[in-house]
Structure 1
Amino acid sequence: MKSITEEAKIENIAVITDFVNSILEANGCSAKVQMEIDIAIDEIFGNIAYYAYTPKTGEATVQVEIKNFPERLELTFIDKGIPYNPLENKDPDVTLDIEKRKIGGLGIFLVKEMMDEVSYEYADGKNILKLKKNL
């Protein structure tokens, strides 16, 4: 397992993405999987940056592990911000016209659709969001 810890700021999304992509590329992951992972990083790390420590800032750790190579990627986001389980929110109704939809929730919905498993736990004062993707 490899990990990176950065201050939870929007400008660090690129740092996290580059770190994860270097691991994906070294393991021969497809461009499609890499794009889906990039979208997930943008959404999850972005939400941590915007909401976890408001109005202050703090750190977030991203762990990357490829198990049973090349079978499964596990991407874990860990922060010590405000406890928040994004999986508790109701999925948006994507059948409605865009003008009739409520704001919010589409990003985590996309992450759940693109990943094979998404789980959340709050343990030891930390938000832990795990994404699993079959490769």
Structure 2
Amino acid sequence: MKELKIEAKTENLDAVLDFINAELDRKNCSMKVQHQIDIAVEEIFVNIAHYAYNPIIGDAIIRIAVSGEISIEFEDAGKPYNPLEKDDPDITASAEEREVGGLGIFIAKKIMDTLEYRHEDNKNIFVIKKHLI
């Protein structure tokens, strides 16, 4: 499993994506799957950057392992929060009627095969998985 420790700031998103994509390229991951993973990684990392430590800045640790599936783990020591407990947004409602937030995790749920959350040792650990095609 490869690991990147980085400050959880939106300015570091490109570095996170470069880290993930370098490993996906090494494993000859298809562009379709890589694009889907990039979308999910962006949504999750930006959420950590915006909400985990607010108003201070803390670190995020991103780990990736690729075998029969791609597993990406996000770890932060911010406020405990399980985004999977939030109801999915009503996508049939108009933008004006819809509650703010939740769309990014909803998208990640649709494009990834598995999303898991746990809180252990005072850390949020969020794992996304995608089967290789």
What is the DSSP-based 3-state SS (H/G/I as helix, E as strand, rest coil) of the residue aligned with 1:93?
A: coil
Match runs of 1:1-80 below 5 Å: 1-67=1-67, 71-80=68-77
**One-letter amino acid of the counterpart of residue 34, structure 1:** Q
Look up the match of 2:109: 112
Query: Separation in 2 of the partners of 1:102 and 1:50?
Result: 18
Query: Separation in 2 of the partners of 1:81 and 1:93?
Result: 28
Return the TM-score normalized by structure 1: 0.95
Query: Separation in 2 of the partners of 1:73 and 1:15?
Result: 19
Query: Separation in 2 of the partners of 1:7 and 1:97?
Result: 36
What is the DSSP-based 3-state SS (H/G/I as helix, E as strand, rest coil) of the residue aligned with 1:98?
A: coil
Q: Which runs of 4+ in 1 moved over 6 A?
A: none
Look up the match of 1:91: 88
Look up the match of 2:125: 128
**One-letter amino acid of the counterpart of residue 120, structure 1:** Y
Taking only the aligned residue pairs, the percentage that are identical comes to 48
Return the TM-score normalized by structure 2: 0.96
Structure 2 unaligned regions, length at least 5: none
What is the DSSP-based 3-state SS (H/G/I as helix, E as strand, rest coil) of the residue aligned with 1:111?
A: helix
Aligned residues: 132
Q: Displacement of 1:99 after TM fit? A: 2.8
Look up the match of 2:78: 81
CA RMSD, aligned part only? 0.8
What is the DSSP-based 3-state SS (H/G/I as helix, E as strand, rest coil) of the residue aligned with 2:118?
A: strand
Post-superposition CA distance 1:53-84 (Å, at most 9, x none):
011110000000012xxx20000000000000
Query: Separation in 2 of the partners of 1:15 and 1:88?
Result: 29
Q: Displacement of 1:101 after TM fit? A: 1.5
Q: Displacement of 1:97 after TM fit? A: 2.4
Q: Displacement of 1:96 after TM fit? A: 1.8
